[in-house]
Amino acid sequence: MAKEELKFPFDPLQGAHEVEAKVMRGQKRLYYRFRPAPYYGGIATADAVGCAFLCAYCWNYNRNLYPERHHTFYSPQQVASELLSIAQKKSFRLFRVSGAEPMLGKKSVDHLMDVLEIIHLNRPDSLFILETNGFFFGYRPELCQGFKKFHNLRIRVCLKGVDEDSFEQITGAKKNAFLFPIKALKQLKKIGISAWPALMKDLFSSQDIKKLKTTLKANGISPEIEGESLEAYPFVIKNMKKRHIKIKNQ
C-alpha cells in the first residue's frame, strides 16, 4: 500500500519494513541515478529511493512514495564503482548517498556498509557524508557501533521538526518517533562518531529553533544546527500547503 493511502500519521517502523522489502533485492538496492553534485564543494552522489518518512518538502517525494517504480537494482560493488568513477573524473574526495534514507533495516544497512567498505579501501583519503533522518539509528542504537571502523565517515542527521507536533506534520509519521533522531545523535557522540544535526530552518521561527536547541542541549548534543535549503518545486509547495506548512523565513 502506498503511503498516501495510509491514514496519517503512519507508523514509520512498519513503513521502513515495507519500503525495504521493495527497494532491496538480496544485496542490491534501488537507485535511479549517479551524479556529481555541487554541495560541500563537490561530491560524488548516488541517488537512491525509499524512506520511512514522507516529508512534505522532500524534493524526491514521488520516487519515495512509489519506490518500486524506480529504477535499477545495484550491488554495493556497482554503487561504489559508479561513485569512484565520478570522483576520479571530477577530482572529488567526498561521497554520499542522497534522495532517500540509506538505513531502513538490516538489509539496507548491510548494503550501505559494503559500499562504505569498498570506497574506504579504494580511496582512504576520502570522506563519506552519510545523510540520514536518524530514525533507524535511534531505534537500533547498537547498529551505530558497526560504523566506528570507518574513519572517513561523517554523519549528518536531518531533523524534521522542532517538537513532536511539527515532526508529525512534516514527516507524516507518528509523533512518538520525534526523539529517535536525537537518540541517534546522542549515541553517535557517545561512541565517538562525528555527527551533527541539520534542519530545514526556513519552516521555523527563531523561537522554534531555540526550542530545538534546548532539547539538543538537554541531551548533551551541540546546538549547532546546519541549515538545509528548501527546493521549492511546485509539487513541494503543493504538498506543504496540503499539510498547512508555511515558510517562516521569507
Q: What are 89's three cell numbers? A: 573524473
Determine the average pLDDT of the residues in 184-199. 96
Convert 80-114 to b/e letters by CB count within 10 Å (16 or more is b): bbbbbebbeeeebebbbbbbbbbbbbebbbebbbb
Determine the average pLDDT of the residues in 208-236. 95
Give the list of residues 6+ apart from residue 200 with CB closer than 8 angstroms, or none: 57, 160, 170, 227, 228, 230
The burial of 237, by beta-carbon neighbours within 10 Å (0-12 exposed, 13-18 middle, 19 or more buried), is given as middle
Determine the average pLDDT of the residues in 97-121. 96
Structure confidence at residue 91 (pLDDT): 97
How would CATH label the architecture of 3-242?
Answer: Alpha-Beta Barrel (3.20)
Structure confidence at residue 8 (pLDDT): 86
Structure confidence at residue 68 (pLDDT): 84
- Statement: residue 212 has pLDDT above 70: yes
Give me the half-sphere count of Cα atoms (radius 13 Å) on the Cβ side of residue 227: 10
Q: What are 45's three cell numbers? A: 552522489
Please state the pTM of the whole predicted model. Answer: 0.93
Q: Where are the alpha helices (DSSP H) in the chain?
A: 12-23, 61-65, 76-90, 106-122, 135-139, 164-171, 180-190, 206-218, 234-242
Q: What are 227's three cell numbers? A: 541549515
Query: What residue type is assigned to position 235 of the chain?
Result: F
1: confidence class by pLDDT, cuts 50, 70, 90: very low
Select the more confidently predicted residue: 154 or 6: 154
5: confidence class by pLDDT, cuts 50, 70, 90: low
Nearest 5 degrees, angle CA 225-CA 193-CA 206? 10
Tell me the C-alpha to C-alpha distance, in Å, between residue 26 and each of 68, 81, 117. 15, 19, 18
Determine the average pLDDT of the residues in 181-206. 96
User: What's the pLDDT tens digit per position in 27-76?
Assistant: 999 999 999 999 999 999 999 999 999 999 999 998 998 888 877 999 99
Relative to beta strand 72-74, strand 94-98 is: unpaired
| pLDDT more than 90, % of the chain | 91
